[in-house]
Chains A and B, each alone.
Chain A
Amino acid sequence: MKAGLKLFNNKKLTKNKEIISYKKPKYVYIPLVNQNDTNITPLVKKGDFVKVGSIVGKRKGNLRIPIHSSVSGKVIDFVEKPYLNGQMVKCIQIENDFEETKEKREVKKLHQYTKEEFVHQLKSCGVIGMGGNGFPTYVKYDQDIPLHTLIVNATECEPYITADYVLMMNHIEEILDTMDAIMEINHLDEVILAIKKSNQKLWKMIHNYIGTYLKIKVVFVSDKYGIGWERALVQEAKHVTYDKYPLEKGIVVNNVSTIYAIYQALKYGNALTERIVTFTGEMLKEPQNVVVKVGTPVSEVIESIGGYKRNNDIRFVAGGPMMGHTLPNDELVVSPNLNCVLVLKDWKKVEERPCIRCGKCVSVCPAKLCPVLIKDYQKNKRRLGELKPEKCVECGLCDYICPAGIPLREIIHSVKEGLK
């Protein structure tokens, strides 16, 4: 990849630690949101009893996807909680009875699903993209276009985050098995596991298992931040470019955490109610990767792993340092697409200076945009048509590199919104 940038990744804070779990919250707050879409019908009312994996809400529109309870217990209220983008969203508050009563779903052996059953299972278990976007996964497989390739994205290019890494270190067999099963069920020709070149430790570990799966290919991609973006990854791993979605060319891209969620759905009929979240940053006493239930208040988890180093002077980031958002408090609850909670030292934000037109934002942009020009022509509709700000993936690289401290990501985001 030409664009993109190597960043100081700071993954060592959590990389070599055991995964711990925090699965006993007193209350969970299931956020009624998917892909920033809060247009979700709640299917329970106050006082209802729900089990682990019971459907509590359903997304309307084209991308229908159920939302599940992550504990068994009683629905006690509907409250507003902040979502990872800073918006307040409606959540279902459920009191945990600690019984872990499970909603039963029919399951088969991994390789024995038909394509229809596979799609149905993903849908009913609410498997969504866990890399950050939250796109319903079943939609990618429920296509008329013949699929031929699955690319599993294990690049995890955001600094600090190691959730995918530790997942692979612990569950590689399940992941490879699932990849193999998906290939057979969907009659794919090729399955690619994309990892970063520098991740030699991971490769050595995978190397011990890969021999059994003759059709799974491991592809090493460049170490730059930005490679985890679907388009860049497909370009580098498959040398294919596409217009809107990789599906056009018969390619499915899934995050490695999503593959594990698929495994849970196929093998045990488990809905997507848990995930690994990296709790990290220099202001946490003990950075950890923690398995948490969807809906768990983040502040509880932080407390359980030792808490903050200091109570003030903190920057609280939902997501990684590049694409995440700072939040005004730690009321955040875990959603399936939250991969990281980053607690950094408060900083004096670099003072915004006038643009010196150094062109660095242009040279790093993985989407081939010209952020500086988009900033200049914010009001010029005709010129914006040529500059295509809608192609921005908000990776934050222009923001990161800008020596003048101009908030380019925000500017382009608002230009994008303005064009809609």
Chain B
Amino acid sequence: MKQFHVYQGTQIKDSNTSSKMMYHLVLSLLPIILFAWYQRGIVPYMEERTDIIGLFYPLLFLLLPSLITYLMEVLFHIHHPHPFKDAFFNYGFVIGLFLGLILPFQTPVVILIIASLFSSLIGKLIFGGFGCNIFNPALIGYLFVLMSYGAVMSVDVVSSATPLTNFKNLGGIGNYHNLVEPYGNLWNFFFGTIPGTLGETSGLLCILAYFYLCIKKVIKWKIPLIYVGTVFGMTFLIGGYQNLDIWFPIFQVLSGGLLFGAVFMATDPVTSPTTPIGQILYALFLGILTVFFRFGTSYPEGVMFSILIMNLFVFILDQVGSKSRFNFTHAIIPFFLAWTLILGLGVYFGLNVGKEKTDSNFHIISKEKNQNEFSYIVEQKGYAGNIKARIVIQNYSVSSFEVLEQNESYYKRVEKADYIEKLLENQKHLEQVDTISGATKTSTALKNMLIHTLEDYEKEVHS
């Protein structure tokens, strides 16, 4: 009698395996890595702005955390032997890679190492290793860096203020002139020649990676599409209330880590819902939270936080998702909530954001014209009462900026930082001048004072 092997399950198999999916994922990251290297390593080297270490630093910046998370995985499995451990090691590598791509490039090496350890240990291994983690491990490392070393990270980097930091510092909604123009035009946002972390700058490469991963059936395609769509829709609404054109939602979509986060971080299979309805709700709420963080808090970037928060709800979303497959009524309330929030927050931010900054806080007390010299006395609301100043403009250039009256509590800090000097030096791109930490309101007020006066001056000259 012939003897054959007996197998469970189907006798033909889809050719897509976990390892292949991981391979495609890394492959789709490759152009992004190479572009980052080109931008941050090769170009500075060619222009002789950096040395040979600087040339390879971007690659080291990605490789170091990858190696650390990989080693952590290996160490963990010495103590927890598991039949599939080889597979786990590769998954460990990817965590570090993502971490390197989402952390600010100026992160010191020590912090990078600590963040990698934190990602691997707290983000994943403490939950019991692969498949058991609730939160995206790379984002846990990111959160840790932000919470513990936020101050170190934002040390004066005037030249590389990201579009979103700039947007936040404006304190209001801004306009094309001060949001997009400092970086050229929107094409630069699309191609990625703007400041940002290694992974997030190029919208084009993220979109290409999205299509590649969809064709190869690696990621949950609904999540990035609906997530970005929601942010676009809500910012379109907000922009509409503020009389801003279509460029504003495009600016919001292309700025910061939205595209990268949507394509790579929000679709992390372990920490996102498995059911289609769950995925749709997950993506809608991600969009809502991101818009909330960007417009409703003082924190410039909302993507990574939104994903971490929504990771918590995956369990519930899957419960809703699985029930609503048989009976859609289970999903009505969450969908209703999502639509209400999208419209409600859209309208609320549309009506309210930017009001604070508008002219009600700024007054021109007097202006004198003397040949081509304009002398302004202006008043702007600061941290404690109004700040009064005299500003003299000559031939489109501010020749003097003198504070006449102020009651600011932390004014000394402003003086110590030579903030006014700095403003005068950078008067052509004031948007990029960072505020003084510890005297944010005061410094913002001073900056805005100058911006508004210059706006008024331009109007005068043109008319």
Contact = CB atoms under 8 A, between A and B. Distances in A.
B9 A410 contact: yes
Contacts of A356: 18, 21, 131, 269-270
A362 B2 CA distance: 38
B87 A354 contact: yes
Contact of A359 (B1, B2, B20, B274): B274
Contacts of A373: 274-275, 318, 322
Nearest to A322: B10
B276 A403 contact: no
A314 B3 CA distance: 9
B6 A327 contact: yes
A353 B88 CA distance: 9
Interface string B13-29: 11011111100000000
Given A316-B4, A370-B325, A403-B16, A409 B10 contact: yes
B336 interface: no
B381 interface: no
Given A326-B6, A327-B4, A331-B1, A355 B131 contact: yes
B323 interface: yes
Contacts of B269: 356-359
Contacts of A323: 10
Nearest to B130: A354
Interface in A324-380: 324, 326-331, 342, 344, 346-347, 349-360, 362-363, 368-370, 372-373
B279 interface: yes
Contact of B21 (A322, A331, A358, A370): A358
A372 B19 CA distance: 19
B180 to A, nearest CB: 38
Interface in B266-282: 269-270, 272-276, 279
Interface residues of B, number: 42
Contacts of B2: 299, 311, 314, 329-330
A286 to B, nearest CB: 18
Contact of A396 (B9, B84, B131, B322): B9
A85 B322 CA distance: 30
Interface string B324-354: 0110000000000000000000000000000
A357 B132 CA distance: 11
A5 to B, nearest CB: 8
Given A329-B2, A359-B220, A321 B12 contact: yes
A159 B269 CA distance: 30
A250 interface: no
A300 B305 CA distance: 67
A326 B270 contact: no
A315 interface: yes
**Residue among A315, A354, A387 with most chain B CB within 10 A:** A354
A386 interface: yes
Interface string B252-296: 000000000000000001101111100100000000000000000
A267 B48 CA distance: 93
A386 B1 CA distance: 46
B131 A403 contact: no
A387 B9 contact: no
A321 B20 CA distance: 23
Contacts of B274: 357-359, 362, 370, 372-373
- A-side interface mostly: loop
Contact of B7 (A349, A370, A372, A404): A349
A400 B10 contact: yes
A317 interface: yes
A317 B4 CA distance: 10
A7 B18 contact: no
A328 B1 CA distance: 10
Contact of A329 (B3, B17, B273): B3
A405 interface: yes
Q: How large is the interface on A (under 10, 10 to 19, 20 to 34, 35 or more residues)?
A: 35 or more
Contacts of A316: 4
Contacts of B273: 359
B5 interface: yes
Contacts of A363: 276
A314 B4 contact: yes
- B-side interface mostly: loop
A402 B270 CA distance: 14
B21 A399 contact: no
Contacts of A159: 12
**Residue among A7, A369, A370, A402 with most chain B CB within 10 A:** A370
Interface string B287-330: 00000000000000000000000000000001101110110000
Contacts of B422: none
Interface string B228-247: 00000000000000000000
Nearest to B22: A356
A356 B90 CA distance: 13
A266 to B, nearest CB: 37
A346 B5 contact: yes
Given A353-B84, A356-B270, A359-B279, A328 B18 contact: no
B85 to A, nearest CB: 10
A306 interface: no
B58 to A, nearest CB: 29
B428 interface: no
B14 A315 contact: no
A399 B321 contact: no
A108 interface: no
Nearest to B16: A403
Interface in A254-307: 299
Contacts of B10: 321-323, 396, 399-400, 409
A258 to B, nearest CB: 25
Interface string B112-134: 00000000000000000011000
Contact of A321 (B11, B14, B84, B322): B11
Contacts of A362: 274-276
A354 B131 contact: yes
Nearest to B1: A329
A315 B9 contact: no
B80 interface: no
Nearest to A349: B7
A359 B271 CA distance: 11
A400 B12 contact: yes
A299 B9 CA distance: 23
**Residue among A8, A346, A349 with most chain B CB within 10 A:** A349
A359 B270 contact: no
Nearest to B279: A359
Contacts of B20: 403
Closest 7 CB pairs of A and B: A359-B274, A396-B10, A321-B11, A399-B9, A368-B325, A407-B9, A407-B8
13 contacts: A7-B12, A311-B2, A315-B11, A329-B1, A329-B2, A350-B13, A356-B131, A358-B21, A359-B279, A368-B325, A370-B321, A399-B9, A409-B9
Given A314-B4, A342-B11, 12 more contacts: A86-B6, A159-B12, A321-B12, A326-B11, A329-B2, A359-B275, A359-B279, A370-B318, A373-B275, A386-B319, A396-B9, A400-B12
Interface of B: 1-14, 16-21, 84, 87-88, 130-131, 217, 220, 269-270, 272-276, 279, 318-319, 321-323, 325-326
